[in-house]
Amino acid sequence: AELHVDWVEHGVRAMLAVRGGVAVPRVLGSRSTDVMAGLGPDRLAAGAHVEVGP
pLDDT, one tens digit per residue, over 5-50 is 887 788 777 788 888 888 888 999 998 888 889 999 888 888 888 8
Give the predicted TM-score (pTM) of the model. 0.58
Please tell me the predicted confidence (pLDDT) of residue 50: 86
Range of the domain at 22: 1-54
Please tell me the predicted confidence (pLDDT) of residue 52: 87
52 neighbors 21 (Cβ within 8 angstroms)? yes
| Spacing of C-alpha 32 from chain mean position | 6
Domains contained in the chain, number: 1
When the pLDDT of each residue in the chain is averaged and rounded to a whole number, the result is: 85
